[in-house]
Structure 1
Amino acid sequence: MTEHLSERTDRIRQLNDQFRRGRGAGRVHCMGDLAHEDFDVQRRALDAVVNFNGFNEGDDPYGEHDFGAFEIDGRRYMFKIDYYNLGLDAGADDPADPKTCCRVLTIFYASDY
């Protein structure tokens, strides 16, 4: 059982990393105050997410690389990857199956959390 969970977690982490780095399908959104910033601010935040490597047990307890926090110019940001079905109207049955799961990356200021 543990081996199966480890392989599944490894697959989810791999898919999340590919998506986060722009090599996988999904949607990206800015929310809260970040959604109202100009494109350059949003782009810098997205670039930070793409290059993010600061995963730790406190923020990523399941090892899926689906959450992170970082700073740009003294402002704290967060991102979260959620798993939806292809219709985006319910959670995905299996985040390890890219044929039935749509990843949605949301980036926001920590103050909007």
Structure 2
Amino acid sequence: MAEPDVEQIRALNDRARQSFTGCRVAVIAGIAALGHAAVYEIFDRIKAYDDFIPANDPYGEHDFGSFHYGEHQVFWKFDYYDLDYTMHSPDPADETVTARVLTVMLAEEY
């Protein structure tokens, strides 16, 4: 199996995270329960997120982040699926065969 193109995966993840394009966004119930205003503030924090360090980004893909929103710890993460959303993507660096899903959740929902 070929090594993943980490730079391409990171670029695609950054573009999707910063613009919420090129991916689906899934908001888990705990985040939704905070209300529309909170969800939009959380989205803005995700779009601006740049606290990538080896502890939270060991593969350099920019596929996970966490931060505090008030008293809540928020997690966001990318998953890579095939275009039918039935299996993992055969190549997350190739957007022609990959459907990205950005999931936003409270830490306790992980």
TM-score (normalizing by structure 1): 0.88
Residue 73 of structure 1: how far off its partner (Å): 2.1
The worse-fitting range, judged by mean Cα deviation, of 37-46 and 91-100 is 37-46
Percent identity between matched residues is 33
Alignment match of 1:55 (pick from 52, 55, 75): 52
Which blocks of at least 5 consecutive residues in structure 2 are unaligned? none
Partner of 1:9: 6
TM-score (normalizing by structure 2): 0.91
CA contact (8 A) 1:13 1:64 kept: yes
> Are positions 1:65 and 2:37 aligned together?
no
Partner of 1:79: 76
Counterpart of 1:84, as a letter, is: Y
Count of matched residue positions in the alignment of Structure 1 and Structure 2: 109
For 1:37, what is the secondary structure of its paired residue? coil
The worse-fitting range, judged by mean Cα deviation, of 103-112 and 69-78 is 69-78
Q: C-alpha distance in 2, partners of 1:107/1:75?
A: 12
Q: C-alpha distance in 2, partners of 1:66/1:81?
A: 5
Which blocks of at least 5 consecutive residues in structure 1 are unaligned? none
Q: Which runs of 4+ in 1 moved over 2 A?
A: none
